[in-house]
Amino acid sequence: MTTATGDTTTLADRKRRAGQRMVIGLSGPALTDDDVAVARAIRPAGFVLFARNCVEPGQVHELTRSLVDLCDRSAPPIVTIDQEGGRVQRMRAPATVWPAMRVVGRGGPAEAAAVGAALARELRAMGVHLNFAPVADVDSNPRNPVIGDRSFAADARSVSACVSAFIRAHQGEGVGCCAKHFPGHGDTSVDSHLALPVVEKEEPELREVELAPFAAAVRAGVWSLMTAHVVFPAFDEDRPATLSERVLPKLVRGELGFDDVVFSDDLDMKAISERWSTDEVVGYATDATVDVMLCCNQPHRQVETYEALVRWQEANPYRDDMRVSAGRVMRLRERVVPRKVLGPALVGIDTPEHRALVERLLDRYA
């Protein structure tokens, strides 16, 4: 929890700061009137692209350029995507179709770095600024319905090495990474899109397995993290990490010393949306030092979350959390958003070199 000595904010200030704590989804491959209305009301920190938004690279590039007009000129939108490879890659052909990170992980850190750099070059060409990747979860539970081959490996040491290499290479190309899902979604047997998972492990094992790759990600200089909608009774018996004042402040901000942006996982997921009210989610997540609320699919939830963020400030006039989070978001924006909007040329997408990299990975490791 952060405190301040006084409050002199106006309603306009509160609305601006509320918007800067949100990243929202869009309905399709082009902006609709409803998209525009919601975005202009919220003025979010950024937008997240899904398969429904991605037809081909040129269209994605035009969409990302059009998003600039929906936000304040002083705070251009951060465009984000889940482009992991394998099952989770929102932009597919005619961009490069990347293998699952399990395949990449078999090639070790060198192959992880090669993929991280190539993948970032393609995203940059399309106007994407931040990739919700890599998955830093350790695939330690074969019954896991949601992670599986999205993970580099089934052991923490291999995952840590590949995560570090991927991050350094990807961010070296100017596109941010977001290591997910802290403190680890790899040992769940429930999909948090559908229900609330619980990981019944003792703290020493959690530290040795689940937390190790995230510590490696922070050491590698990752620019953001994403939380898990998972309960870890060893740390907090009542709330998932996204909403836990006992997990993120202690482990992320304290022990790991991470002072950059923490994103929530999607707040539309049933692990969260069916258990807590929007006001409770905003309050608990703020106490947990989550900086940005991710609202991917439901326009009504986007508006509700924005309004709840405004109300939270009115109810907590002497707390400084909003200013702190806004500062972290601005620092991320300065790292990933180019000062000039990219022109129409799309270069570096599905190149012969990228195709050869995919073929090598599949031939050697698939």
Q: Which residues are catalytic?
A: 193, 265
Give 41's DSSP letter. Answer: H
Give 283's DSSP letter. Answer: H
Where does residue 151 rank: exposed (0-12), middle (13-18), buried (19+ CB within 10 A)?
buried
Pairwise CA distance, residues 366 & 359, whole Å: 10
Decide: helix, strand or coil at residue 214: helix
CA angle 133, 191, 276 (to 5 degrees): 95
Contact present, 186 and 294 (Cβ < 8 Å): no
Contact present, 317 and 291 (Cβ < 8 Å): no
- Give which of 292, 155, 165 is closest to 219, Cα–Cα: 165
